[in-house]
């Protein structure tokens, strides 16, 4: 793949490959589900690749929490196909996210990543890019009739 291929916003026609990329990240979805998620419009999804094959994905949104004077961006998903890692695709996606956040007037970018051994290379990448570990993340699944506690 030509590494100078532009990073662009995902289109509905990218749904199948967006689903493949999300599955590689550990969130399997089929093409229909991916299309529905792309259509939500609540976040910006960037893809890297050619018209023939997508090799990376980064999604982000901005929010204005009460404790900040300016918005913050949040990277909600990032993945590069395993066989394409180490070729600058992740860096290009993150650089695009930084530019997007600046354009949106954001103060900074927040990103969370699962505490699983297979994510350690990603954690090293994020730190090398300049992100700092700043907090713990917590998650509580809820259902309609009760709060699940594990």
Total domain count for the chain? 1
Tokens 């970018």 sit on residue: 109
pLDDT for the residue numbered 114:
86
Identify whether 47 is part of a domain: yes
For the chain (150 residues), the mean pLDDT of every run of 10, in chain order, is: 71 96 95 96 93 92 94 96 93 97 96 88 92 86 68
The structure tokens 């662009």 sit at 8
What pTM value is reported for the model? 0.87
Whether residue 49 is contained in a domain is answered as yes
Q: Is residue 117 part of a domain?
A: yes
Q: Say what the pLDDT of residue 98 is.
A: 97
Distances in Å between the Cα of 60 and the Cα atoms of 43, 51, 83 are: 5, 22, 24
The CATH code of the domain that includes 56 is 3.40.630.30
Domain ranges, residue 21? 7-129
The closest alpha carbon to 13, from 44, 48, 39, belongs to 39
């Amino acid at each position: 793949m030509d590494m100078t291929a532009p990073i662009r916003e995902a289109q509905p026609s990218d749904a199948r490959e967006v689903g493949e990329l999300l599955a590689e990240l550990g969130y399997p979805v089929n093409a229909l589900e991916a299309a529905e998620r792309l259509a939500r419009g609540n976040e910006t999804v960037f893809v890297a690749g050619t018209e023939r094959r997508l090799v990376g994905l980064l999604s982000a949104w901005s929010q204005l929490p009460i404790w900040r004077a300016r918005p913050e961006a949040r990277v909600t998903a990032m993945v590069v196909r395993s066989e394409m890692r180490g070729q600058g695709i992740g860096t290009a996606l993150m650089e695009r996210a930084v530019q997007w956040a600046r354009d949106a007037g954001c103060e900074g970018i927040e990103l969370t990543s699962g505490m699983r051994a297979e994510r350690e290379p990603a954690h090293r990448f994020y730190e090398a890019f300049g992100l700092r570990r700043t907090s713990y993340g917590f998650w509580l699944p809820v259902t309609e009739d009760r709060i699940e506690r594990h």
